[in-house]
Structure 1
Amino acid sequence: MAAALNGKWEIYSSENFENFMKAIGVTPENIEKATKALDANSKLTHEISGSGNSWSIKTTTIMGEKEIKFNLGEEFSTATLDGRPVKVTFTLEGDKLVEVQKGDGFESRNERSVSGGELVAIMSGNGVSCTRKYKKI
C-alpha cells in the first residue's frame, strides 16, 4: 500500500550508483561530490509524505535540503541534484511510487516501494540500474 511510503527514511545501502550516474550524464566532478553526499554512509534522508494526489519528498544531505511537492500524474519542472533541468512526473503503480525524469540526453525511472520494513529505490536510466535501500527512522 502506498501509505507505507510515508515517513522518514535513511539510506544504508547503495549498489551500482556511480555507474547509474555515469549512464545518465552526471559529470565526473559531480559524481565525486555525489558519492560523498549521497552514498550509503552519508546519512542521506528522504521524508516522504503523501495522501491522495498530493505528495512531497524532502531530501536532506550534508550539502543541504531540497523539497519537492507534486500531484500524481502532473508533469513539473525541477532540477537534478547536480543542477540539470528536468521534467518530472510521479505516478502510483500499485504500491510503488514511480518517478520519471526527462532531461537533455537522458530519461530515468525511479521506483520506490516498501518491502520488509525498508524503502527500496530502484533507479534506472540509459540501460543501467542501481538499487538503494533505506531504513525508517
Structure 2
Amino acid sequence: MASAIGKWKIEHSVNFEEYMKAIGVSDEKRLDAHKFLSDGSNMTQEISDNGGSWSIKTTTAAGEKTITFKLGEELDTMTLDGRNIKVLFSADGDKLVENQTGNGFQCKHVRHGDGNTLTMILTGGGQTCIRTYVKC
C-alpha cells in the first residue's frame, strides 16, 4: 500500500457519469462532481500513513475534506455529495481498498500506485469507473 502514499492530481476518468448514476448521486450533485472532481478540475488526493493512522485529504476548488482511519476499523463519515456512509479500509497486497455502505448502495474503491501514476477503480451498482491520477 505504500505505492498509494503521496499527493495525486486527477488526470483521466472512464465511466464516471454512469458510475455516479449507479450509486445514486443526484442530478444536481453529479453536475457539481463534474465541475469539482472530473478531469481538468485540478482535484487532488493526498494519501498518508502516520504509523498506522491513515488519512486521505481530498482538495477541490469547492474546499477540502480529510478522512482519517485505521485499517480494519469501520467508521462513519459522509460521501463528497453529503450522504452518510459506513467505510471500512483494508489492504489487498499493495492496494488500498475502501468499502462504502450507504442507504441503498454499496461500492468499493481500490487504489494502487505504480511509480508516478495512481489508479483508482470504483465499482458499485453494476458499474465500474477507472480514475487515473498523476503524482504532484
TM range (shorter): over 0.9
What do the CA deviations read for 1:28-86 (whole angstroms, capped 9, x no partner)? 11101111110010000000001553200000001100001000000000000010000
Structure 2 equivalent of residue 108 of structure 1? 107
| Distance in 1, Cα, partners of 2:110 & 2:51 | 18
SS at match of 2:11: strand
| Distance in 1, Cα, partners of 2:28 & 2:14 | 20
The one-letter amino acid paired with 1:54 is S
CA root-mean-square deviation: 1.0
After superposing on structure 2, the runs of 4+ consecutive aligned residues of structure 1 that deviate more than 2 Å are none
Shift of 1:114: 1.0
2:57 matched to 1:62?
A: no
Structure 1 contact 124–130 (Cα < 8 Å) conserved:
yes
SS at match of 1:40: coil
Report sequence identity in percent. Answer: 52
**Structure 1: stretches of 5+ with no match in the other structure:** none
The one-letter amino acid paired with 1:81 is L
Counting only pairs closer than 5 Å after superposition, residues 73-92 of structure 1 correspond to structure 2 as: 73-92=72-91
Structure 1 equivalent of residue 118 of structure 2? 119
Shift of 1:3: 1.3
Structure 1 contact 3–51 (Cα < 8 Å) conserved:
no
**Structure-2-length-normalised TM-score:** 0.97
SS at match of 2:24: coil
SS at match of 2:3: helix
How many equivalent residue pairs? 136
